[in-house]
Structure 1
Amino acid sequence: MVTLDEISQLFYGAGEDAPGWQGSQEDLISLAAKEFPGKPFCVVKQWILIDLIVTAEEKDKLTKLGLLPATLYAHEVVLDSQGRFQPNMWVRSNFGVSSTEYMFETKSTVYLLLGDGVRKKAELSTVFSFRA
């Protein structure tokens, strides 16, 4: 069972500083449109890139499905291109399929990482224990 302490550490505990986009939101959206034409995007701030702690078997399963053992949590949605998430809401992505310095891609969305964030490790059960 996931404890409140585990969730608290994920949200507020120490992590490794991770650089995000420092330019304008419009420039980041333009860059995403060039790299992922037509793909829905979600601009986020105060984000945490989470490297999932998984077993070798779980990692193999994810790899076979073309997924990374990683996900993204953001304390603040700035703009969602499809209106799924309202500004100031939090969001947790599904498993990633690719990741660059300023973008985290899932099968359905490219999350645009506005401003600096944090990189952390967490158990799979902890990350997927909370829902909107």
Structure 2
Amino acid sequence: MSELQEITDLLYGEGVPMPGSKVTEEEALRIVRERFRYPDYCIVRDWIWIDLDVSADQLDALRKTRRQPVIVYAHTVIYDSNRRWDVGDFVRTSPLHAFHDGFMFQTLHTIYILLGDGVRKRAAIETVGRIF
């Protein structure tokens, strides 16, 4: 399969449905501010949970840094507390550190609030690396 086709399938192809939060944007803000005092946060929609295919060495390196071989790609940024992304931008996270309450995806530096339903897919780490 071509590199372009792999990226297209990852971003727009079928996936396994995965529930996100049903709360409003305002409720999501309240929840993240109450639960996490200082981290940056980003509210997103139209998201893809991506399980990464990694080698044993890559998995070991992730575990040593308290991360897991999972990232989220979101087609739509709703709000970013640190203004790194504008409303409507896409975002690709760094690897998962912790997952809270079925809709808060935490990396080492940011909490991503997954609004609405998303999909779950599997991809090679090289394919994900080609998404800017």
Q: Does residue 131 of structure 2 align to residue 130 of structure 1?
A: yes
Q: Does residue 107 of structure 2 align to residue 97 of structure 1?
A: no
Aligned length: 131
Could you say which residue in structure 1 is the equivalent of 2:45?
45
- 1:61-111 C-alpha deviation (Å, 9 max, x unpaired): 110111110111000000001111000000101111112311111111100
Supply the AA of the counterpart residue of 2:3: T
Gaps of 5+ in 1: none
Supply the AA of the counterpart residue of 1:40: D
- 1:130 and 1:105 mapped to 2: Cα distance? 20
- 1:13 and 1:44 mapped to 2: Cα distance? 19
- 1:55 and 1:13 mapped to 2: Cα distance? 24
- 1:86 and 1:30 mapped to 2: Cα distance? 20
Q: Does residue 64 of structure 2 align to residue 64 of structure 1?
A: yes
Aligned-pair CA distance for 1:11: 0.5
Gaps of 5+ in 2: none
Over the matched positions of the two proteins, sequence identity in percent amounts to 38
Aligned-pair CA distance for 1:35: 2.4
Q: Secondary structure at the match of 1:8?
A: helix
Q: Secondary structure at the match of 1:107?
A: coil
Q: Secondary structure at the match of 1:47?
A: strand
Q: CA RMSD in A?
A: 1.4
Aligned-pair CA distance for 1:34: 2.4
Alignment of 1:18-29 (within 5 A): 18-29=18-29
Could you say which residue in structure 2 is the equivalent of 1:31?
31
Could you say which residue in structure 1 is the equivalent of 2:116?
115
TM-score (norm 2): 0.94
Structure 1 runs (4+) greater than 3 angstroms displaced:
none
Q: Secondary structure at the match of 1:89?
A: coil
